């Protein structure tokens, strides 16, 4: 995903390009915030141990934008 298209609130899918993010490959998330100092974006993922119908804790990860793809449920501008 192009860093210029990263806007908080977008639905994304993690597409790990290396082993560091392999454990969250395929996870669906929401862009939470940009981190210009770290060169990545913060994403918020629902906890995998929480059923979808329940509100539970979110997990946050700092991920490079090139390891994210736009989820089809989010329309592009």
* Tens digit of each residue's pLDDT (9 = 90 or more) over 20-72: 989 999 999 999 887 766 678 888 887 665 555 555 678 888 899 999 999 98
Q: Per CATH, which fold does 3-70 belong to?
A: SH3 type barrels. (2.30.30)
**Can you give the pTM of this predicted structure?**
0.74
User: Is residue 31 within 8 Å of 42, Cβ to Cβ?
Assistant: yes
* Cα(54)–Cα(57) distance, integer angstroms: 10
Contacts of 5 (CB under 8 A, 6+ apart): 70, 76
* Tens digit of each residue's pLDDT (9 = 90 or more) over 1-20: 777 777 888 899 999 998 99
How high is the pLDDT of residue 40? 82
How many Cβ atoms from other residues are within 10 Å of residue 43's Cβ? 27
């Amino acid at each position: 995903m192009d860093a210029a298209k990263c806007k908080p609130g977008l639905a994304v899918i993690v597409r790990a390009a290396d082993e560091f993010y392999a454990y969250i490959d395929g996870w669906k998330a929401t862009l939470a915030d940009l981190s210009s100092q770290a060169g990545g974006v913060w994403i918020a993922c629902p906890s995998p141990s929480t059923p979808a119908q329940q509100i539970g804790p979110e997990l946050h990860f700092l991920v490079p934008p090139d390891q994210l793809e736009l989820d089809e449920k989010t329309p592009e501008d």
